[in-house]
Structure 1
Amino acid sequence: MGRGRNRSTDGLLPGKRMTRVYRAVLPPLTLGVLLLVAWDLATRTGAVSTYFLPTPWDLADRFIDEIRHGELLDYTEETATEALAGGGLGLAVALPLGYLIARSKIAAAALQPYIAATQAMPAVALAPLFAIWLGYGLLPIAVLCALLVFFPIVVNTVLGLRGVDPEVMNAARVDGVGWWGMLWYIELPLALPSVLTGVRNGFTLSITGAVVGEFVMGGEGLGQLLTVQRQEDDTVGLFSTLVMLCLLAAVFYGVVRLFERLVKR
């Protein structure tokens, strides 16, 4: 009984759990420190001009100053709104379409070539068309984000549903489970890990779609800020904005990952 109480909620002993944490945290942390030291040495010794690569300390000062006194958070909020809107739109289309492809051979044969063809068209080439068709503002940028989100979610939804054991589904049918019960209680739970992997990757890509959309169609987000900083040759500002984009992508990825872990419990 005492041994059982010492186990954590995920079934691991505290020592083993800490070992897992160390293995997950220490390698990327060590690599990050080494890269930071190399970066500092490269700029401090003059091997790389600070015009092209600012020192990590100048970048940290600029980033903190932009957070405290600048408008970086306002730009970030705009980009996050566009990415979330596009991600939601892509998710709403991709999930039912993925189910249709997974469960209908005719639909799969008809749709898969066109879905694959959408990935051959670069987002930056489609953005001007969306501006002509939909105007400017949130809607065309959200649609552009949705296109980037759409493909990984569709692919992973199809893989997850096709990976459901047919014997489990046949047994459920014998017990009288209908279409909705099959989907909600059997297919969705078993396919959920694969689906959430697609959602995680897709929502991370939605930030790229938002930035590309702002490059072409304007806006008030981080893409527009990058355009201004590029025109002003503001290298430190460019790096500061890129850091914020990386943090935003990490937040999106982490939130979906956290949801995935909560669902698995």
Structure 2
Amino acid sequence: MHPTANTAARVAAPIALAVVLLGAWEWFVRSGGVAEVFLPAPSALAERFWLECAEGPLLKHAGVTLIEALCGTGIAIAVALPLGYLVARVAWIRLTLTPYITASQAVPAVAVAPLLALWIGYGLTPVAILCAIVAFFPMLVTTTLGVRAVPTEVLEAARLDGANWAQTLVWVEGPLMLPSVLTGIRAGIALSVTGAVVGEFTMGGKGLGQLLTLFRDANDTEGLFATLVMLVALAIALFTAVYLLERLAGQRGRNAASRRMRASTMLVAAT
């Protein structure tokens, strides 16, 4: 299939499915299949979503959740990336920490949140830390895999060229493992939005989690759906932004690998 046609199919297929599902949803509600108090029609939800964005607090609360998610993602990146590199390169660190890192995933975020509130208090900091905990594991795993995937012959060529550890990391390993790292960040940043909402549920806050609580207490189904739509839109926007960076990094990584492989081949031939 031609690349342009393939891209068009990737865009058209999910749009067509969405149109079919929304049309069936609209028909089901309008035909009396379910009361709108339990499941509003898509047209009513679109109207309410626009009203909440234009005149309500939805955008303000979304901004708070976005800040919490970004702060948490930043903390996760600062911890997961160096640790993932060390786990991949240093055997005793890998053997020592892997069981504890794996075991940490058995503890749900909703169980950690009350402890953070007890230890730290309320506000942005504990919610951001909870987001970091949620986003940490996929970043660590993909960083470790990305480091291990760097070809040994490329590293040897860099050392033969006289590159030290820092130069090898910045100019060789960094570009080659960046696509994998960004894959983990892409997954983590989407999960951090969920972590922010969980944190607001349990530790308070002024983000979308608080808005969901208010609409729930008021039995406002349309408000709940409008907030959920904003959550989905926020996660998709962050996911897509990192995906575009990942595509760009992937191209640069392939170019870097090609250059290093050519250099390695020439060096071997000269020898």
TM-score by length of 2: 0.90
Report how many residues are paired: 251
Find the aligned partners of 2:150 and 2:215 in 1 and give their Cα distance.
Answer: 50
**1:27-81 deviations in whole A, cap 9, x for unaligned?**
1001000100110111011212212110111101100001111111000000000
Find the aligned partners of 1:153 and 1:140 in 2 and give their Cα distance.
Answer: 20
Match of 2:91 among 105, 114, 131: 105
Match of 1:200 among 162, 173, 186: 186
Find the aligned partners of 1:91 and 1:177 in 2 and give their Cα distance.
Answer: 26
The aligned amino acid for 1:75 is H
Contact 2:179/2:247 (CA < 8 Å) preserved in 1? no
1:4-19 correspondence runs (5 A): 16-19=2-5
Q: Give the aligned partner of residue 132 of structure 2.
A: 146
Find the aligned partners of 1:180 and 1:24 in 2 and give their Cα distance.
Answer: 41
The Cα shift of 1:17 comes to 4.3
Contact 2:131/2:193 (CA < 8 Å) preserved in 1? yes
The aligned amino acid for 2:223 is G
**1:176-230 deviations in whole A, cap 9, x for unaligned?**
2110111111111111111110000000000000000000011000000001111
Q: Give the aligned partner of residue 158 of structure 2.
A: 172
Q: Give the aligned partner of residue 222 of structure 1.
A: 208
Find the aligned partners of 1:18 and 1:161 in 2 and give their Cα distance.
Answer: 33
Find the aligned partners of 1:256 and 1:32 in 2 and give their Cα distance.
Answer: 23
The aligned amino acid for 1:93 is V
Q: Give the aligned partner of residue 3 of structure 1.
A: none
Q: Give the aligned partner of residue 175 of structure 2.
A: 189
Aligned pair 1:116/2:91, yes or no? no
Q: Give the aligned partner of residue 95 of structure 1.
A: 81
Any gaps of 5 or more consecutive residues in structure 1? 1-14
The aligned amino acid for 1:123 is A
Partner SS state of residue 220, structure 1: coil
- Of residues 39-48 and 96-105 in structure 1, the stretch that sits farther from structure 2 once superposed is 39-48
Any gaps of 5 or more consecutive residues in structure 2? 253-271
1:46-85 correspondence runs (5 A): 46-85=32-71
- Of residues 17-26 and 37-46 in structure 1, the stretch that sits farther from structure 2 once superposed is 17-26
The aligned amino acid for 2:104 is T
Find the aligned partners of 1:110 and 1:52 in 2 and give their Cα distance.
Answer: 51
Partner SS state of residue 39, structure 2: coil
Partner SS state of residue 245, structure 1: helix
Partner SS state of residue 236, structure 1: helix
TM-score by length of 1: 0.92
**1:96-155 deviations in whole A, cap 9, x for unaligned?**
000000001110011111111111100001000000100000000000000011100000
Find the aligned partners of 2:105 and 2:27 in 1 and give their Cα distance.
Answer: 41
Find the aligned partners of 1:52 and 1:168 in 2 and give their Cα distance.
Answer: 59
The Cα shift of 1:23 comes to 1.4
Aligned-residue sequence identity (percent) comes to 53
The Cα shift of 1:262 comes to 2.9
Contact 2:215/2:221 (CA < 8 Å) preserved in 1? yes
Aligned pair 1:242/2:228, yes or no? yes
